[in-house]
Chain A
Amino acid sequence: MPILSAKNIVKSYTIGDRKLDVLQDVSLDIHSGEVVAIVGSSGSGKTTLLGMLSGLDQPTSGRILIESEDITDKGEDDLAPVRNRTIGFIFQSFHLVPSLTAIENVMFPAEIGNDPQARRKAEQLLRRVGIWERADNYPHQLSGGEKQRVAICRALINEPKIIFADEPTGNLDSKNSREILDLLFELHREKKTTLVLVTHNMEIAGLTDRTIPLQDGRIGAETV
């Protein structure tokens, strides 16, 4: 039973009188514990697909199922518990809340879920990724690598079943990229989460269990 399924996803935009098909009949299954890379060049539709899979966006047609639950037509508020408990996000641009410190950013999803252990868990995670001493710093006081570590901790605090990572090293230098990827894979092994990675970098894709290539909105032949 796949933890995440996409069935015949189509996503079209209309710009003026021009119709643009970003995704065309995309179907895929991802199983629990897998590390999957969705790869493609710029404009291939991979970030759009990630948006559909994570419920951030709705397809024009087709269905998305997470743990066999159809999330396609769910409204924002119905998706809130899914986003809070089942899914974790890591973005290329980090997307940390600027008005919160590093530890507050990490605690935030747990606090929304009324977890009384939020601070303890956040502390553990920050220590684990080696930036505990930066816990009280605001995002603008952190380097790119530090920001992404905070984002990883935030994605993990509620121990979600799936983590979506959209070009997680896209804004980092090569040294930091390497460290972040090592960290991500280590944490994946520790926490046994499913990791869905979007990247244009084939080297990174080579580190995953399975690669789903995307070209002009269609899935090509997968490599394992």
Chain B
Amino acid sequence: MHLRFIFRQVTSSPRQTGVFVACVVLSIVTLVSIGGFGESVNRALLKDARRLLAGDIIVQSRFPFEPALEDALEDLATQPGISVARTYEFITIVGDPRGDETLLSELKVVEPGYPFYGEVALQSGAPFSEVLRPGRVAVGQNLLDRMGLALGDRIRIGGETFEIADIVLGEPDQPVDFFSLGPRIFLSASDLVATGLIQQGSRVFYKALILVSDDRAVDAIAGELAEVADPVQVDVDTFLTNQSSLQRFYEDFLTFLRLIGIFTLMLAGLGIQSSLTALIREREETIAIMRTLGATGRFVIIQFYTVAHALGALGTLVGLALAILLQLVFPFLFGPFLPPQVEFVISPTSIGEGILLGIFVVSVFTFLPINRLRALKPRYIFQKQSPAASFGKVESLAQGMILVFLAAMTYRYLQNAERTAYFSAGIVVLVLVVTLLGQGALKFLQRRRLRRLDARQALRGLFRPRNATLAIIVTLSTSLSVLFTIYLVQRNLDASFVQAYPADAPNVFLLDIQPDQRQGVREFIGEAVEFTPLVSARIRSINGQPIPPGESSEAGFDRGRDPDAAPNLNDVFSLTYRSELNENETLVTGDALFPRDGAEIAQVSVLQSLLEAHPFQIGDQIEFDIQGVRLMAEVASIRAAVREAEGFAPLFSFVLREQDLLAAPQTIVTAVNVSRENVPQFQNDLVRRYPNITVIDIGATLDTLAALVADITTIIRFFTLFSLIAGVLIIISSVLATRFARIQEAVYFKVLGARKRFVLRVFALENVFLGLLSAALALVLSQAAAGILITQFFELDFRPFIGSSLLVMAGTVILVTTVGLLASVSILQKKPITFMREQTVE
């Protein structure tokens, strides 16, 4: 190894080595910072699984616990070393007793003992159990801000008023609140009855937290509870088996970010490859002289591997330093989205992994340019020729290595072979498609003969020998297509959910209306409103055959309402009653909704999509279980239903006659249109009259959703930006790789009488073509990808946003042109005579 030689190679081409190091930095900073981000979030969420559960065991259900489960919990509470605390969570409207101000809030009613682990952090610093005494509540700061209240004021919840005793800063079992519909209120369970809020059919999340002092007994107790609990309605988990929806959300989100990281790694790798190629090209004459003087191919390769790894080590160190710095910035960038107690640190393991990653990245992506040196014959250099381009063993091996490396990295992050295979195949297909499209477009352009001289020269520039035009287009198009797709999906979701909400459509939903409140509510609203009763029920048997036990669907609730979702007979269904078909329904079998209207046995109309789960026929007998009461019903008709454009009308799997369900425990909902500015007044007046009714303002909910989507997109865009930087580095390295050819052209143009402006125009137009082609390909791909996602996954109408897309495209062209021109500045400044002198041997 020749150290002086290596030092000279590193220092004598600062631009190329700079880009090389920048690409290594980028790959390390992306993966290590995403890894660190994930590690920090996971640690914050999983540091103490018991704290996240607030107990050792949790029993939870959307329905009141059945008597057998209640008995089991009562028994447990009497056993030594075991404590039970129940919580009831639901949304409700609270009000300021002094005025009209009301607010949708998330109420958490807790029994003494909650939380068994962790603590509810209060502003006063006082223990939660001391603050939450009967007649007092602890609330989120946002409630005080929005209602103009202060500590010590009173607040009306249901039929009672309470003193605001403290401000909640955090709760162990809900570390982030970005899914919430309103501020948090903690209420003592002893006050629940006085509020009168839980009535028949009310939508409440019932939980029982259990503290078990003997760790060894936890699984056994959970098993016993699971045996008596209804497996469909009730979940029983221990702190080890429970995975909250929040954890699942973060896990999915982090997986997505990691995939973006791998994608960026691939692009940065291409940058490493292309900048090293540029560096080696500048050194070709040196290499030729070395070979002429007897250096073996192995000797040359070892020297350049050492150069690459020396630069790689520098890039890795800088990348690690930047990744650590980024961790400090994350709280400012993504603050509201993250768990409050998250500590951003990069562990020694991550640093070790980063160093290993740096070595692998450099080894894998420099393999091709360095091993090509074997084929470099001195005569090519001295005669200033290029060896014929070929795709041989070295190229195949290099591509294979890159693919295996990326797949291994993907597996390392996903820990799932199937997902790894899908992602790797997806990347290969994306790159192949972009390559084919790019090749086709370039072939088409190569045949074009433009009239304008500068445009023609610029087009010719794309086909300059050794130009990495196709590589740049593939890199830019793939990274841009991911960015564009995210942009289009966000715009579509925004337009479909937030902006496209028709002005005359119902925008205020009233839930938990009691049957005897219907008349009063109708009068209050002052117009004809349609009340939809909901009765929760399960199917016990069909034609006397019990439903085979099985898993309920993921949500555990009626999926039959969604015509596209696979129905599951083990789910809990929402039944309703009415006498006529809805406008969006048609009869498939039967003459009327209930042809035997006078029949004594209950009559039921079945939604066609249920036929996927069971071949229902007219006359079949279905046995429903309505909160312990059995109801036998005869299939009277089969209906088909289409989801209305606005998607407000719920699709019911089972519709019965009024007389069949009137006596069943039920909740009634309705929806009305209230102008946005009148919603607060409407809400205030209604809640004063009917405290148990929950009013959901869809406009406000959509605002929350839009803010959440915006937060998520900010984080995704932040990390996807790294892949765009990789694209920019590839443009720079390509300009450097073709530096000689560009200087040559610029000099010849000037010698033949062209002004600087002309040369500048040619270079600018070349980059415009490059940017246009890449952005256009990316746009086509992203329109297709976003179209598929929006129509197939989100099941919405796709809007292409042509105007905005063209603006994004223009932005891309400006970026590519600016970067390309900036990288060419030194080339433009080169004096013809200097270059000619270098080229002419006197």
Residues of A within 8 A of B (CB): 42-43, 47, 51, 56-57, 76-77, 80-85, 89, 91-93, 95-100, 108-109, 111-113, 140, 154, 158, 166
Chain B positions within 8 Å of A166 at CB level? 840
Instruction: Find out whether the CB atom of B840 lies under 8 angstroms from the CB atom of A91.
Output: yes
Chain B positions within 8 Å of A108 at CB level? 453, 749, 752
Tell me, rounded to whole Å, the shortest Cβ–Cβ distance linking B839 to chain A.
Answer: 6
Tell me which of A51, A80, A97, A140 contacts B753 (CB under 8 A). A80
Chain A positions within 8 Å of B840 at CB level? 47, 91-93, 166
Q: How far is the CA of A192 from the CA of B117 in the complex (A)?
A: 102
Q: How far is the CA of A215 from the CA of B181 in the complex (A)?
A: 92
Tell me, rounded to whole Å, the shortest Cβ–Cβ distance linking B469 to chain A.
Answer: 12
Instruction: Find out whether the CB atom of B753 lies under 8 angstroms from the CB atom of A77.
Output: no
Q: How far is the CA of A66 from the CA of B460 in the complex (A)?
A: 34
Tell me which of B461, B752, B833, B842 contacts A109 (CB under 8 A). B752
Cβ-based interface call for B544 (8 A): no
- Binary interface encoding of chain B residues 736-758 relative to chain A, with 1 for a CB under 8 A from any of its CBs, else 0: 00000100110011111111111
Tell me which of A42, A93, A95 contacts B751 (CB under 8 A). A95
Closest partner residue, chain B, to A57 (CB atom): B833
Closest partner residue, chain B, to A87 (CB atom): B753
Q: Which of A47, A85, A93, A97 has the most CB of B within 10 A?
A: A97
Tell me which of B453, B461, B745, B837 contacts A111 (CB under 8 A). B453
* With known contacts A56-B832, A99-B460, A112–B754 Cβ distance under 8 A: yes
User: 25 A-B pairs, CB-CB below 8 angstroms?
Assistant: A57-B833, A76-B750, A76-B756, A77-B757, A80-B753, A83-B751, A83-B753, A84-B753, A89-B751, A89-B752, A91-B836, A95-B748, A97-B748, A97-B749, A98-B465, A98-B741, A98-B745, A99-B464, A108-B752, A109-B752, A112-B754, A112-B758, A113-B753, A140-B385, A158-B753
Chain A positions within 8 Å of B750 at CB level? 76, 80, 83
Chain A positions within 8 Å of B453 at CB level? 108, 111-112
Chain A positions within 8 Å of B461 at CB level? 99
Cβ-based interface call for B501 (8 A): no
Cβ-based interface call for B405 (8 A): no
Closest partner residue, chain A, to B386 (CB atom): A140
B450-485: which have CB < 8 Å to A? 453, 457, 460-461, 463-465
Chain B positions within 8 Å of A85 at CB level? 753
Q: How far is the CA of A116 from the CA of B635 in the complex (A)?
A: 86
- Binary interface encoding of chain B residues 745-779 relative to chain A, with 1 for a CB under 8 A from any of its CBs, else 0: 10011111111111000000000000000000000
Tell me, rounded to whole Å, the shortest Cβ–Cβ distance linking A48 to chain B.
Answer: 8
Closest partner residue, chain A, to B465 (CB atom): A98
Q: Which of B457, B745, B754 has the most CB of A within 10 A?
A: B754
Tell me, rounded to whole Å, the shortest Cβ–Cβ distance linking B604 to chain A.
Answer: 77
Closest partner residue, chain B, to A158 (CB atom): B753
Instruction: Find out whether the CB atom of A42 lies under 8 angstroms from the CB atom of B757.
Output: no
Closest partner residue, chain A, to B748 (CB atom): A97
Q: How far is the CA of A221 from the CA of B744 in the complex (A)?
A: 37
Closest partner residue, chain B, to A160 (CB atom): B753
Chain B positions within 8 Å of A112 at CB level? 453, 749, 752-754, 758
B802-842: which have CB < 8 Å to A? 831-833, 836-837, 839-840, 842
Chain A positions within 8 Å of B753 at CB level? 80-85, 109, 112-113, 158
4 more A-B contacts (CB under 8 A) besides A77-B757, A112-B749? A76-B750, A83-B753, A98-B741, A98-B744
Q: How far is the CA of A39 from the CA of B752 in the complex (A)?
A: 25
Q: How far is the CA of A43 from the CA of B840 in the complex (A)?
A: 12
Q: How far is the CA of A167 from the CA of B758 in the complex (A)?
A: 29
Tell me which of A42, A56, A80, A113 contacts B842 (CB under 8 A). A42
Instruction: Find out whether the CB atom of A51 lies under 8 angstroms from the CB atom of B752.
Output: no
Chain B positions within 8 Å of A113 at CB level? 753
Tell me, rounded to whole Å, the shortest Cβ–Cβ distance linking B455 to chain A.
Answer: 12
Instruction: Find out whether the CB atom of A43 lies under 8 angstroms from the CB atom of B745.
Output: no
Tell me, rounded to whole Å, the shortest Cβ–Cβ distance linking B463 to chain A.
Answer: 6
Tell me, rounded to whole Å, the shortest Cβ–Cβ distance linking A96 to chain B.
Answer: 8
Closest partner residue, chain A, to B461 (CB atom): A99
Number of interface residues of B (CB under 8 A): 30
Instruction: Find out whether the CB atom of B842 lies under 8 angstroms from the CB atom of A43.
Output: yes
Chain B positions within 8 Å of A77 at CB level? 755-757
Tell me which of B752, B757, B831 contacts A83 (CB under 8 A). B752
Closest partner residue, chain A, to B754 (CB atom): A112
Chain A positions within 8 Å of B748 at CB level? 95-97
Instruction: Find out whether the CB atom of B744 lies under 8 angstroms from the CB atom of A51.
Output: no
Chain B positions within 8 Å of A99 at CB level? 457, 460-461, 463-465, 741, 745
* With known contacts A80-B750, A98-B744, A99-B745, A47–B755 Cβ distance under 8 A: no
* With known contacts A95-B751, A98-B464, A56–B756 Cβ distance under 8 A: no
Instruction: Find out whether the CB atom of B754 lies under 8 angstroms from the CB atom of A93.
Output: no
Chain A positions within 8 Å of B752 at CB level? 83-84, 89, 108-109, 112, 154
Tell me which of B465, B744, B833 contacts A56 (CB under 8 A). B833
Q: Which 7 A-B pairs have the closest CB atoms?
A: A84-B753, A57-B833, A83-B753, A99-B460, A56-B833, A80-B755, A111-B453
Chain B positions within 8 Å of A97 at CB level? 744-745, 748-749
Q: Which of B753, B837, B840 has the most CB of A within 10 A?
A: B753
Q: Which of B457, B744, B756, B832 has the most CB of A within 10 A?
A: B832
Chain A positions within 8 Å of B833 at CB level? 51, 56-57
Chain B positions within 8 Å of A84 at CB level? 752-754
Tell me, rounded to whole Å, the shortest Cβ–Cβ distance linking A67 to chain B.
Answer: 16
Tell me, rounded to whole Å, the shortest Cβ–Cβ distance linking A97 to chain B.
Answer: 5
Instruction: Find out whether the CB atom of B842 lies under 8 angstroms from the CB atom of A100.
Output: no
B195-217: which have CB < 8 Å to A? none
Chain A positions within 8 Å of B465 at CB level? 98-99, 140
Chain A positions within 8 Å of B758 at CB level? 112
- Binary interface encoding of chain B residues 541-554 relative to chain A, with 1 for a CB under 8 A from any of its CBs, else 0: 00000000000000
Q: How far is the CA of A89 from the CA of B840 in the complex (A)?
A: 14
Instruction: Find out whether the CB atom of A47 lies under 8 angstroms from the CB atom of B842.
Output: yes
Q: How far is the CA of A96 from the CA of B384 in the complex (A)?
A: 14
Chain B positions within 8 Å of A57 at CB level? 833
Chain A positions within 8 Å of B755 at CB level? 76-77, 80
Q: How far is the CA of A65 from the CA of B758 in the complex (A)?
A: 26
Tell me, rounded to whole Å, the shortest Cβ–Cβ distance linking A63 to chain B.
Answer: 18
Chain B positions within 8 Å of A42 at CB level? 842
Q: How far is the CA of A209 from the CA of B758 in the complex (A)?
A: 38
- Binary interface encoding of chain B residues 786-806 relative to chain A, with 1 for a CB under 8 A from any of its CBs, else 0: 000000000000000000000
Chain A positions within 8 Å of B460 at CB level? 99-100
Tell me, rounded to whole Å, the shortest Cβ–Cβ distance linking A215 to chain B.
Answer: 14
Closest partner residue, chain A, to B744 (CB atom): A98
Tell me, rounded to whole Å, the shortest Cβ–Cβ distance linking B560 to chain A.
Answer: 66
Closest partner residue, chain B, to A157 (CB atom): B752
Chain A positions within 8 Å of B756 at CB level? 76-77
Tell me, rounded to whole Å, the shortest Cβ–Cβ distance linking B464 to chain A.
Answer: 5
Chain B positions within 8 Å of A51 at CB level? 833, 836-837
Q: How far is the CA of A92 from the CA of B842 in the complex (A)?
A: 10
Chain B positions within 8 Å of A95 at CB level? 744, 748, 751, 836, 839
Closest partner residue, chain A, to B462 (CB atom): A99
Tell me, rounded to whole Å, the shortest Cβ–Cβ distance linking A165 to chain B.
Answer: 13
Q: How far is the CA of A98 from the CA of B741 in the complex (A)?
A: 8
Tell me, rounded to whole Å, the shortest Cβ–Cβ distance linking B401 to chain A.
Answer: 32
Tell me, rounded to whole Å, the shortest Cβ–Cβ distance linking B718 to chain A.
Answer: 40
Tell me, rounded to whole Å, the shortest Cβ–Cβ distance linking A95 to chain B.
Answer: 6
Q: How far is the CA of A92 from the CA of B457 in the complex (A)?
A: 24
Chain A positions within 8 Å of B831 at CB level? 76
Q: Which of B460, B741, B752 has the most CB of A within 10 A?
A: B752
Q: How far is the CA of A92 from the CA of B837 in the complex (A)?
A: 12
Q: Which of B461, B463, B744 has the most CB of A within 10 A?
A: B744
Tell me, rounded to whole Å, the shortest Cβ–Cβ distance linking B453 to chain A.
Answer: 5
Tell me, rounded to whole Å, the shortest Cβ–Cβ distance linking A80 to chain B.
Answer: 5
Q: How far is the CA of A84 from the CA of B752 in the complex (A)?
A: 6
Q: How far is the CA of A81 from the CA of B744 in the complex (A)?
A: 20
Q: How far is the CA of A96 from the CA of B836 in the complex (A)?
A: 12
Closest partner residue, chain B, to A166 (CB atom): B840
